[in-house]
Amino acid sequence: MGTKRMLLIRAALVAAVVLVAAQARAGGFLVYDVSGEAVAKGSAVVASSTAPDAVWYNPAGIAFGAPYQFSLGTVYTTADNTFSPKGGGKDVGSVPGNYFLPHLFASVRATDWLYVGVGGYSVYGLGTEWPKDWVGRVSTIKSALTTATINPTITFKPHKDVAIGIGFDAVRSALDANQGLPEPIGGTARFGAAGWGYGANVGVLWRAIPDKLSVGVTYRSRITLVMDGRIDVAPRPEFLRDLPSGKVHTELTLPDIFAFGVSFRPVPEVELGVDANIVAWSTYDKTVLKRDNAADIVMDHGWTDALVLRIGVDWATPVKGLNVRAGLIYDKTPVPDEVLEPSTPDADQIDVCLGLGYQWKWLKADLGYQLIAFLPHEATTGRLGPEGKYTTLGHFLALTMTFQFGEPAVRPLAASATP
């Protein structure tokens, strides 16, 4: 009887432990890259972006863009995850997933010193799926986090070379997780929840040497997502009474993000960007599931703050309107070895970025690609999943169309060719 009771407790605890999705970027489950131009430059754009997507990267930047501008597009993502069990055994590959993350931005010059912008995008989420019978099924089979953010912004320009942007974030989120129950209980458990969270952001952009050197700083506050949902447990029939389904309440805190960037033009045709991001993933230390008909479930994650370094280059080629871009990213994982889990098999990353941009009068098209190479990362304790090594290779492909009207406050990269 004691053994059976312990198994029941264990089953209850695993009934919804997967709260976040993997296939991550920017450490953890943050997808920092939201436009074709930025993806191509490793998103090293805090001090240079004046396009509408500056609403996300640095809201101060819209004060130096075109008076009226609008952009829309999508980021396609995919990744291959492989698990190699400790002590040998057959490697297990995740079920391939394909995701499209749309983005939409707009900004308008209200006066010479006041600009208004808005963004709609998804920067937290994606998901993973493993075979239903794999060795880690009790930890996770399928998990997904999706978010949609609305980000209105007001930007002030107290000086012709200085701008300050302030924004508000409203985030709608949804969680969906499915996993197996341990033997002899068998069956599966599914957890789903949805809710809202709110935050703020601020950015400053200073053109220290106009058309030569710019400096940008931004801060995005942490956002606590307050979600309500339910756990549906489907064990073998003899365990149904002991493992009730029911409503659940939980909270998930998204991290603070600090970003600092420098943009430099050694010649009019070339722009270099260097950015550093600090993502305060220590906000993701534990999660509490409050159930209406059973004891609370407490999950310790133990993530740490992470550093991301970015370098990007943008070259205006001799072909009028055509830009070639490249970037490089080093992304430190926030997930320690001892709490590595199959729903977030994150690791240190080295990303290589390439892309093209073409502008014709008021229309601008940007295409960016990132190859995301996760270094092997080993789960060492078995606390949140099976012991073994995870390897991942990911891809981003982003396309953005931008419509710009009026003369921008900042001179764009000069092309060598004559009109």
Q: What share of the chain is helix, strand, coil (3-state, %, to 5)?
A: 10, 55, 35
Residue 270, pLDDT score: 97
Residue 323, pLDDT score: 97
299-352 pLDDT, tens per residue?
Answer: 777 889 999 999 999 999 999 999 999 999 999 988 888 888 887 788 889 999
CB atoms within 10 A of CB 153: 25
The model carries a pTM of: 0.89
For residue 363, the one-letter residue type is L
Measured CA angle at 309 (ends 303, 311), to 5 deg = 155
**Which residues of the chain fall short of a pLDDT of 70?**
1-28, 125-126, 294, 414-419
Residue 400, pLDDT score: 97
Residue 124, pLDDT score: 83
Report CA-CA distances (Å) from 6 to 178, 223, 230, 331.
22, 36, 23, 40
Of 129, 80, 84, the closest CA to residue 389 belongs to 84
Residue 14, pLDDT score: 45
Domain locations in the chain?
A: 2-405
Residue 404, pLDDT score: 95
Residue 308, pLDDT score: 96
Residue 110, pLDDT score: 95
Q: What are phi and psi of 365, to 5 degrees?
A: -120, 130
2-405 belongs to CATH 1.10.3720.10: no
Residues 31 and 284: beta-carbon distance below 8 Å: no
Residue 418, pLDDT score: 35
| Average pLDDT for the chain | 86
